Amino acid sequence: MGTDLSYIDENLRRITYNVGEAKAKYRRESDEIRIMAVTKTVAPEAVNHAVDLGVTLLGENRVQEYMSKKDMYSQKAEVQFIGALQTNKVKYIIDSVTLIHSVNSIKLAREIDKRAEGISVKRDVLIEVNVGDEMSKTGADAAMLNELIYEAAELPNIRIKGLMTIPPIENAEKHLCRMQEIFEEYKSKSIDGVQMDILSMGMSGDYVTAIKYGSNLIRIGRGLFGPREYK
């Protein structure tokens, strides 16, 4: 007899309801808001259950864990990489993820570009922004963001699709609002090689507020799968 995974059904119903309410209150009816299942420490059986329920977008945080689980994932799943990524690990994921959220330096962007060229693809990326200028978090701060976007945009084998952030817990709304302003600023610039279609922000604790401030990709782990069992 398999594990009872019905709690995922209930959690997803609540998330879907909250997303619908937030969209009705803050956004246009035509706006698409994607729900990503964040799979860190989650068993493939539970991940595939979420995929069967319609959450086909998965977010992986750690390369080694992803490599151990990816062959067990449903073929219906699309996998994106959302965690901190070392340059020497890019080669392991470049051929199987559709989007890398965590580009925080030109060094990393160049490595992704090189590895993408090696397999003859153009890999989509997001630029990670440290919107709260927190020492404990990765991401480009406001002072270096402009240079990073323009330099990365010149690389021929990557496409900048937007921005990602994890705001500080304190005063999160202020930082989510600031992130929307940054996103709209770069969207209006029409930079070659930059599409600015995706604003990835909002997790289990703040996704409703993130939707208010323009997020169209929310990353839900604990809210969908319950508390993590860290390994």
Domain that holds residue 94: 6-225
Mean pLDDT (the chain) is 94
List the single range of 10-24, 35-49, 168-182 with lowest mean pLDDT.
168-182
Tell me the percentage of the chain whose pLDDT exceeds 90: 87
CA distance 170 to 133: 13
CA 151, 99, 24, 38 dihedral sign is negative
Per-residue pLDDT, averaged over 209-213, amounts to 98
Q: Name 160's bridge partners.
A: 125, 194
Total tally of structural domains belonging to the chain? 1
**19 in a structural domain:** yes
Per-residue pLDDT, averaged over 10-37, amounts to 97
Placement of tokens 């590895």 in the chain: 115
In this prediction the pTM is 0.94
Tell me the percentage of the chain whose pLDDT exceeds 70: 97
User: Are 70 and 96 spatial neighbours (Cβ–Cβ below 8 Å)?
Assistant: yes
Q: Assess whether pLDDT exceeds 80 at residue 71.
A: yes
Tens-digit pLDDT profile for residues 99-153 = 999 999 999 999 999 999 999 999 999 999 998 776 777 788 878 899 999 999 9
Tens-digit pLDDT profile for residues 175-188 = 999 999 999 999 99
Give the pLDDT band of residue 231 (cuts 50, 70, 90): very low
CA distance 188 to 166: 23
CA distance 210 to 202: 5
Give the pLDDT band of residue 1 (cuts 50, 70, 90): very low
**169 in a structural domain:** yes
49 burial (CB, 10 Å; 0-12 / 13-18 / 19+) is buried
Tens-digit pLDDT profile for residues 56-68 = 999 999 999 999 9
**72 in a structural domain:** yes
Q: Assess whether pLDDT exceeds 50 at residue 45.
A: yes
User: Are 220 and 13 spatial neighbours (Cβ–Cβ below 8 Å)?
Assistant: no
**1 in a structural domain:** no
Task: Report the b/e string of 146-181 with b at 16+ CB within 10 A.
Answer: eebbbebbebebbbbbbbbbbbeeeebeebbbbbbe
**203 in a structural domain:** yes
Task: Report the b/e string of 57-91 with b at 16+ CB within 10 A.
Answer: bbbbbbbebbeebbeebeeebebbbbbbbeeebbe
Tens-digit pLDDT profile for residues 151-174 = 999 999 999 999 999 998 888 999
CATH code of the domain containing 184 = 3.20.20.10
Q: What is the DSSP letter of 73?
A: S
Query: What is the C-alpha R_g of the chain?
Result: 17
**171 in a structural domain:** yes
Q: Name 57's bridge partners.
A: 36, 78
